[in-house]
Chains A and B, each alone.
Chain A
Amino acid sequence: MTQPVLKVNQVRKSYGAEVVLEDISFSVPVHTATVFIGSSGSGKSTLLRCINLLDQIDDGSIELDGEDITAVDADVDKVRRKLGIVFQSFNLFPHMKVIDNITLAPMKVQGISKELARENAYKLLDRFGLHDKAENYPDRLSGGQQQRVAIIRSIAVAPRLLLLDEITSALDPVLVNEVLSTVRDLKIEGMTMVLATHEMGFAKQVADEVCFLHHGKILEWGTPTQILEAPQQRETKEFLKRVHEAGRL
């Protein structure tokens, strides 16, 4: 059996007295997507921030390609170079053009020449239909376009694992679809991904495994069909019912 890209072992995280994640264990094989669903405050985003080392875990360990990235002597910058993360609020750099947003990390982190970085960036923009936006500043783009640029920015450094944190929560339904199709393309190309989302479209169309997170614990996990169509836990059923009522299924 090949080694999983990501292996999370019994991770616990709390903010003060409030336990946000408890006994979280799962692994993500290469070229697969694991989707975390659950209501707001269930700990999805915290989990992704912990994997990206933006937050420190309180117990357990996280392995990336078999290497313990939560070890005391782990090189944070080196770990982050292997991880891409896309945020709910895009977080594009507003003072830089789209093209410069994308080429910054390849040039400064990987040491790629400006010409090559731009060439690669244009290839990615072409592929996702954003070629004509390259010389614009982010605030001239729609939310969906901004989020797709943010995705391109994080895959431009060819990460081993892409973390997508509620990337459609700030978008209206029409724009959700364009971002969704971008993520689906990435999946087809074999990108390994972990997603936290409210959007069941991701769970249905992208996930190999769906985990239902409830009050910081993984209550149920399985294939999309298992979880979305035949949930076993009462909490999962209730959550899906509420999502359904909100018209997001």
Chain B
Amino acid sequence: MSNEIGRPSESDSGAAPYNFGGEWKPSQLELDRRAARKARNRRNAAIAILSSIVVIGGLALVAVTSPGWKSLSDTFFAWAYGVEVLPKIILGFGTNVALTLIASVCVGIFGLSIALIRTSRSPALAPFRILATVYVDVFRGIPMLLVLLLVGFGIPALRIKGLTNNVLILGTLAVVITYTAYVAEVIRSGILTIHPSQRAAARSLGLSHFQSLRFVVLPQAFRRVTPPLLNDLVALIKDTGLVSILGVTDAVRAAQIASSRSFNYTPYVMAAIIFLLVTIPLTRFTDRTLRRSIERQNATGVA
């Protein structure tokens, strides 16, 4: 940072060995170009605004003037009722948040382990490699709803003593099982994108297999997979809503209870808004992380 070659710094303008410009002022040609660019940008902005108004306004007009609009807005957008049931839904959403926190920690640990097992070459781990591959294949290929039903109703049906019947725990388990398979694959692909020469350099310095992974391969792999992992986190948050089918009182279930009492669907809309309040900022954050990681990868040397 300290030695940016060829760039004049503010402080040493007196010495100015690199101050090529001197008394430079833009020529008439350049001024005309700038004015033309400005005019074009203004015109583009105006077109964008106009077309947005036409399209979005048109869609809104179609919805509002449709014959069913009145009854639809009564059943879905009864805001007074929505506010009334909001505390219950927020309380339920606390379950989603807790579930997300616990599940993401477990998924991180198990996903990393499975990715490491699948990328290892040690002969002793061969059976685990096979198991890990089968596990990922199976649970990446089953809809999560089915995993939830199988775990939530299957495990209690075994009637093994000491096994839990707690739907919250079983629901969390199902979420962890499914997302571990996704995350393991993301991490594994990240490990595989690190060029073998990095590992060769580490090994030739005398670092062991484990040390090469720990200090050279994994730190680089994680940088690359941070955006897709955040993506999976967003997906995980909203998929925690599925545990409601086991009877867990989360935001979705709370909304369901409220709406079945009043035959009004506004609680669902309220629940949707609460989910969006968390997932949209996280998505924006993911986008920013992705952009930064692309910028970092495209960064080139000064000289």
Contact = CB atoms under 8 A, between A and B. Distances in A.
Interface string B197-218: 1101111111110010001100
Interface stretch (B136-144, B275-283, B295-303): B295-303
A84 B2 CA distance: 31
Nearest to B216: A93
B204 to A, nearest CB: 5
A60 B220 CA distance: 38
Given A54-B200, A108-B215, A141-B301, A94 B205 contact: no
A213 B203 CA distance: 27
Contacts of B300: 139
Contact of A140 (B197, B200, B220, B302): B302
Given A132-B3, A139-B301, A142-B303, A91 B206 contact: no
Given A87-B197, A91-B197, A139-B300, A80 B203 contact: yes
A95 interface: yes
A106 B218 CA distance: 20
Contacts of B205: 80, 84, 104-105, 109, 153-154, 157
A94 B301 contact: no
B206 A81 contact: yes
Interface centre among B201, B207, B216, B300, by most A CB within 10 Å?
Answer: B201
B219 A95 contact: yes
Contacts of A85: 204
Interface string B161-204: 00000000000000000000000000000000000011011111
B34 interface: no
Contact of B204 (A83, A89, A132, A140): A83
A58 to B, nearest CB: 20
B194 to A, nearest CB: 10
A153 to B, nearest CB: 7
B291 interface: no
Given A91-B198, A142-B301, A105 B220 contact: no
B223 interface: yes
Q: Size range of the interface on B?
A: 20 to 34
Interface residues of A, number: 30
A52 interface: yes
Given A93-B198, A93-B201, A80 B303 contact: no
B223 A140 contact: no
A4 B301 CA distance: 41
A73 interface: no
A108 B207 contact: yes
A139 B301 CA distance: 5
Interface in A192-210: none
B207 A104 contact: yes
Given A104-B215, A140-B302, A54 B206 contact: no
Given A93-B198, A95-B219, A52 B302 contact: no
A77 interface: yes
Interface centre among A84, A104, A132, A154, by most B CB within 10 Å?
Answer: A104
A155 to B, nearest CB: 11
B122 to A, nearest CB: 14
Nearest to B220: A95
6 contacts: A54-B204, A81-B206, A95-B223, A105-B205, A139-B300, A153-B205
Interface of B: 1-3, 197-198, 200-208, 211, 215-216, 219-220, 223, 299-303
A-B pairs with lowest CB-CB distance, top 7:
A142-B303, A81-B206, A91-B201, A105-B205, A109-B206, A85-B204, A91-B197
